[in-house]
Amino acid sequence: MTTLTLEHVWKRFGSFEALKDINLNLPSGKMITFLGPSGSGKSTMFRLVAGLDDTTEGTVRFDGEDVTRLPAHKRNVGMVFQNYALFPHLNVWENISYGLKLQKRPKAERRARAEELLDLIKLPHIADRSIKQLSGGQQQRVSIARALAMEPRLFLLDEPLSALDAKLREHMQAELCDLQQTLGITTIVVTHDQREAMTMSDVVVVIDQGEVQQVGSPLEIYRKPATPFVADFVGSSTLLEGIARSDGTFEFNGQSLKVTAPDWASRDLTPGLLCLRPEQLHLAPRSAQTPNAIDVDVSLIRDLGSEIEVQARAGEYEFLVKESSGQPLGYGVGDKMRLHIPETAHLIRA
Amino acid sequence: MTVQDTTILRPIPRFRGVDHKTLILIPPGIMLLVFFLCPFLIMGAVSFYYRVPDGFYEPDFVLANYAAFFDPVFLTALARSLTLCAVISVVCVSLAMPFTYLVSRMRRGIQVPIVILLLCILTLSEVILGFSWTILLSRTAGVSNVLVWLGILDRPVSYYPSRIAIMIAMLHFCFPFAVLTIYPPISRFDRSLPEAAATLGAGPIRAFFTVVIPALRGTIISALVLVFVFALGAYLFPQMLGRPADWTLSVLITDQAIYKSNIPFAAAMSVFLCLICFALIVGVGKLTKKSEG
Amino acid sequence: MNNHLGKLYVFGIALFLMLPLIVVAGVSFNEKKRLYFPPRGFTLDWYKNVLNSSEWLGPIGTSLTVAAIATIVAVCIALPISFMMWRHGVLFAKALFGLGLVPFMLPPVTSALGFLIFWSEIGGYGSFWATTISHSVFLVTIPLMMISLGLETIDDAYLDAASSLGASEGEIFRTVILPLILPFIFGASAFCFVLSMNEYIIAFMVAGFTVETLPIKVVNSLRYGYSPAMAAVSVFAVLAAAGLFLTVARFGDLLKMVGALDKSD
């Protein structure tokens, strides 16, 4: 069990700042994801943690111990790579016991450990196969076994599921979670897939443009996005631009909406963004005079079977509303409706 | 890892602990600098030395060895070499393009033996190949016997020494080199292009000439130059299969160095030949880089 | 139809390429000391002759020794250069790599003359080492290019994986890089070896007739008239080359080694 701490970490490639003053303190024994789009710096951060790249500035600590200058091969981290990176010149058990062989452990011990790990990943009997004979999913598991063979302090996975097909991916997500819980090992997964991050992790670190945008549980990230980027990147949302006040009102388009006042809102004019999630919203006829609502036009209706997605417009804004498919909607495309804004809607400082 | 991240990380070498490791470059460095660069530098120097009439040379700075280039014997040999090699290069690459293209689309089981055959001929000594061609073109054992047997000729004849004999042998010698030069780019060539052409109604031969050839223009130009330079290096065929009047620059250099003991003149010709080749290769390298970039 | 035309073209050229080899093999079976094709009579005496006389075995032995040492030296020069260039992007390695490509860009005669002048200046002319070292630096292009090709096929993730599993730089080289490029080293060695065995002009220029390699011996005997024995020697040379390349193809991907894209799925 290892806690991971990053203090004022910078990474520059020439004049390009890949990471800007990263400060993180991640709990031990948890499933952590680094979530961000391509080029956000998440992979850079991941490689710094693994020791595969040097930090330009700052400190990386495992359990408080400074490992910044420790090269990867002395950090004892287990890594799983996007394309698995199983050594093609070694067979399955030789791959798994590669690290043990470097430590000159006797062959019997290495073999036993490999078998034990193969049992753990539910692939017994393939110890002597060559890598080429394995399917993608099998290679994935073997690379997990190899990463765990040395009982690493941290378990690091780089886009581990991206090469698998959709069905296998969901299956492996569940299995990885199980594995992590059984072993209780601090695990970091890099992903650009927000659904994956939401379903798998205890803690999500959202990264964009070399900066940490938010750290929190999946639910926090979803319900209370800290920045417009997080609101937009995680799940779908509509952000209304307006002015937040400490009396719990949000000025939008000349209208005053009632919301829960965040602590940063003041009596003065503080620009803010109201984050509206599809499942928080619902539509009512104009005639109903719904309070705390804005006028919208229905522009698109999509029946997904399990639910109905409705798109509505108000000026330049487009809203996504999810309605249950149980009963008839009672309105159609082109209808003029009222969109109810819940008081619980989250306000982001612009 | 995402695509962008990879491209950012890639060019950054990891210098951790490299300094003392670069020491392993010292032995190979010495080998190449002493035993390869030195000979060329010395040869350059010798090309300006004074040739002592009885056979050796002494340090000096004379341009007489280069002035000897204006001798008509040398000039005709130069013109002959360049024309011969240019013809060989054009014919070789023209034959090799469709050959390589076709081979690269064949089964692995056929590709491998063909590559082995090419490698065998590429590595075979000019001595052995020249010897084989003298047999093949001879009166007693050559192809003319087959022609007699077919009733085309009355009695067997010898086809060498002649310029045609030199050309056939050099074509044979340079062809594998031409194929192996264009094999990598052709094998990497995007198959969907000719396939797209096929869906637009171009037959395979038309697709080859209208899609493959234009797309590989850079490859063809550099292959032409490389084969040209490679052909310039042939030194035995003109001797074995031709008359002294057919000798090329490479043969003249050997002749001057070994039999006429005029090392400074041989060195001057050699330097000249190197400069031609360098200029061609560097020039074409720049040209193809520009057209690709 | 076009398909057949293509095949005809390929096999026609292959036949042309094999023609001299077929004729040489043919004349080596002549019973009398004359070169007829098709051979008159059939005998393997010329092969026995070659294998039993020190006249031929001497040069064969010399060539084998020169080729073996030159190959090892060439690989030992090329490996560190290619490796340092690929792994660490060392500028000096890049410069050496460029220098190492030069021999193949220039007509061999020019290198040969350079070697001739160099060895006579420093006093090694006509020695075994003059031939061997000249061959090794002349042929260094082959291992440089092929080893670099091999290194290019190594995914960076393998190195990161080894590193994360506790391998130091040296251990990564020994346990991952070296095994992965071994087929390329082997292929380059075979190529170098065969080229050195067949190399004439440099061997001739730096040693005259004192270090009599096989090609020099063949040229020498050609002066005294042709004999099927020379054809037999040529057949041995072709078989040796073909055998080595076949072995390389068995243990590695020959097509990849000559620079083709990996098409195996």
Nearest to A52 by CA among C226, C117, C169, B149: C169
pLDDT at C2: 64
Average pLDDT of chain A, as a whole number? 89
**A218-230 confidence digits (pLDDT tens):** 999 998 899 999 9
How many angstroms away from the CA of B6 is the closest CA of chain A? 9
Q: Give percent above pLDDT 70 in chain A.
A: 99
**Is A39 within 8 Å of B8 when comparing Cβ atoms?**
yes
Q: Which of C60, C109, C154, C234 would you mutate first to test chain B, the one with the most B CBs within 10 A?
A: C109
**Is A43 within 8 Å of B12 when comparing Cβ atoms?**
no
With beta carbons under 8 A apart, name residues in chain B contacting A39.
Answer: 2, 4-5, 8
Q: Which of B4, B14, B16 sits opposite A38 (nearest CB)?
A: B4
Within-domain flag for B180: yes
**B67-122 confidence digits (pLDDT tens):** 888 888 888 888 988 999 999 999 999 999 999 989 988 888 889 999 999 999 99
Residue A95 confidence class, pLDDT cut points 50, 70, 90: very high
How many angstroms away from the CA of B143 is the closest CA of chain C? 9
**Is A51 within 8 Å of C163 when comparing Cβ atoms?**
yes
Residues of chain A with CATH 2.40.50.140: 236-349
Residue A103 confidence class, pLDDT cut points 50, 70, 90: very high
Which chains form contacts with chain A, at 3 or more CB pairs under 8 Å? B, C
pLDDT at C201: 92
Is C89 in CB contact (< 8 Å) with chain B?
A: yes
* Owner of token pair 């251990």: C171
With beta carbons under 8 A apart, name residues in chain A contacting C180.
Answer: 88-89
**Is B136 within 8 Å of C237 when comparing Cβ atoms?**
no
Residues listed for chain A: 350
Show the domain range for B216. Answer: 72-292
H/E segment holding residue A53: none
pLDDT at B18: 52
**Most confident residue range from A140-154, B206-220, B232-246:** A140-154
Is C109 in CB contact (< 8 Å) with chain B?
A: yes
Within-domain flag for B32: no
Is B2 in CB contact (< 8 Å) with chain A?
A: yes
Within-domain flag for B222: yes
Domain of B193: which CATH number? 1.10.3720.10
Q: How far apart are CA A89 and CA C180, in angstroms?
A: 7
**Is C160 within 8 Å of A79 when comparing Cβ atoms?**
yes
Q: How far apart are CA A12 and CA A24, in angstroms?
A: 18
Is B280 in CB contact (< 8 Å) with chain C?
A: no
Q: Which two tokens stand for residue A29?
A: 């024994």
Q: Which two tokens stand for residue A68?
A: 């910044």
Interface of B with C in 166-195 (CB under 8 A): 172, 175-176, 180, 183-184, 187-188
Q: How far apart are CA C181 and CA C79, in angstroms?
A: 10
Decide: A338 and A286 in contact? Cβ < 8 Å: yes
**Is B5 within 8 Å of A44 when comparing Cβ atoms?**
yes
Is A73 in CB contact (< 8 Å) with chain B?
A: no
**Is B1 within 8 Å of A53 when comparing Cβ atoms?**
no
A292: left (phi over 0), alpha (psi -120 to 50) or beta: left
Is B233 in CB contact (< 8 Å) with chain C?
A: yes
The HSE-up count of residue A121 (CA atoms within 13 Å, CB side) is 27
Q: How far apart are CA B126 and CA B281, in angstroms?
A: 24
Residues of chain A with CATH 3.40.50.300: 4-225
**B264-281 confidence digits (pLDDT tens):** 999 999 999 999 998 988
pLDDT at B12: 42
Q: Which of B136, B183, B235 sits opposite C258 (nearest CB)?
A: B183
Decide: A155 and A75 in contact? Cβ < 8 Å: no
pLDDT at C203: 93
pLDDT at C261: 62
**Is B5 within 8 Å of A54 when comparing Cβ atoms?**
no
Interface of C with B in 44-63 (CB under 8 A): none
Report, as an integer, the average pLDDT of A208-221: 93
Which stretches of chain C drop beneath a pLDDT of 70?
Answer: 1-2, 261-265
Superfamily holding C54-257: MetI-like (1.10.3720.10)
Q: Which of A76, A83, A103 sits opposite C157 (nearest CB)?
A: A83
The domain total for chain B is: 1
**C175-203 confidence digits (pLDDT tens):** 999 999 999 999 999 999 999 999 999 99
Report, as an integer, the average pLDDT of B186-198: 79
Q: Which two tokens stand for residue C18?
A: 């094999």
Alpha helices (runs of H) in A62-104, residue ranges in sequence order:
92-96, 98-102
With beta carbons under 8 A apart, name residues in chain A contacting C164.
Answer: 50-52, 72-73, 75, 77-79, 147, 156
Query: What Å distances lie between residue C155 and A80, A130, B4, B7, CA to CA?
Result: 14, 18, 17, 14
**Is C161 within 8 Å of A77 when comparing Cβ atoms?**
no
CATH 2.40.50.140 fits A236-349, yes or no: yes
Is A192 in CB contact (< 8 Å) with chain B?
A: yes
pLDDT at C265: 33
Within-domain flag for B125: yes
User: What's C212-233 look like in SS3?
Assistant: CCHHHHHHHHHHCCCCHHHHHH
CATH 3.60.70.12 fits A4-225, yes or no: no
Nearest to A211 by CA among A25, A2, A8: A8
With beta carbons under 8 A apart, name residues in chain B contacting C100.
Answer: 32, 36
Looking at residue B155, what DSSP letter applies? S
Q: Which of C36, C110, C117 sits opposite B141 (nearest CB)?
A: C36
Cis peptide before A285 (omega within 30 of 0): no
With beta carbons under 8 A apart, name residues in chain B contacting A38.
Answer: 2-5
Which chains form contacts with chain B, at 3 or more CB pairs under 8 Å? A, C
Cis peptide before C215 (omega within 30 of 0): no
pLDDT at C175: 94
- The dihedral formed by the CA atoms of C241, C56, B174 and B273, expressed in degrees to the nearest 10: 130
**Is C205 within 8 Å of B258 when comparing Cβ atoms?**
yes
Is C255 in CB contact (< 8 Å) with chain B?
A: yes
Nearest to A170 by CA among A196, A144, A193, A138: A196
Q: How far apart are CA B65 and CA B70, in angstroms?
A: 10
Q: How far apart are CA B75 and CA B206, in angstroms?
A: 43
**C94-115 confidence digits (pLDDT tens):** 999 999 998 888 899 999 999 9
* Owner of token pair 């195996």: C264
pLDDT at A267: 67
How many angstroms away from the CA of C243 is the closest CA of chain A? 25
pLDDT at B14: 47
How many angstroms away from the CA of C147 is the closest CA of chain A? 17
Q: How far apart are CA C40 and CA A276, in angstroms?
A: 97
ipTM field: 0.89
How many angstroms away from the CA of B280 is the closest CA of chain C? 10
Residue A6 confidence class, pLDDT cut points 50, 70, 90: very high
**Pairwise pLDDT comparison (A96 vs B18), residue with the higher score:** A96
pLDDT at B2: 38
With beta carbons under 8 A apart, name residues in chain B contacting C7.
Answer: 102
Q: What angle do CA C35, C40, C43 make, to 5 degrees?
A: 90
Nearest to C186 by CA among C253, C235, C139, C137: C253
Q: What angle do CA C210, C213, C217 make, to 5 degrees?
A: 85
- A213: pLDDT strictly greater than 60: yes
Interface list for chain A against chain C, based on CB atoms closer than 8 Å: 47, 50-52, 71-79, 81-83, 85-89, 98-99, 101-103, 146-147, 149-150, 156
pTM (predicted TM-score): 0.84
Q: Which of C106, C137, C246 sits opposite B277 (nearest CB)?
A: C106
With beta carbons under 8 A apart, name residues in chain C contacting A74.
Answer: 166
**A277-307 confidence digits (pLDDT tens):** 888 888 888 887 778 888 889 998 888 888 8
Query: How do the domains of chain C map onto residue ranges?
Result: 1-43, 54-257
Is B188 in CB contact (< 8 Å) with chain A?
A: no
pLDDT at B291: 61
Residues in CB range of B76: below 8 A, 6 or more apart: none
How many angstroms away from the CA of B181 is the closest CA of chain C? 9
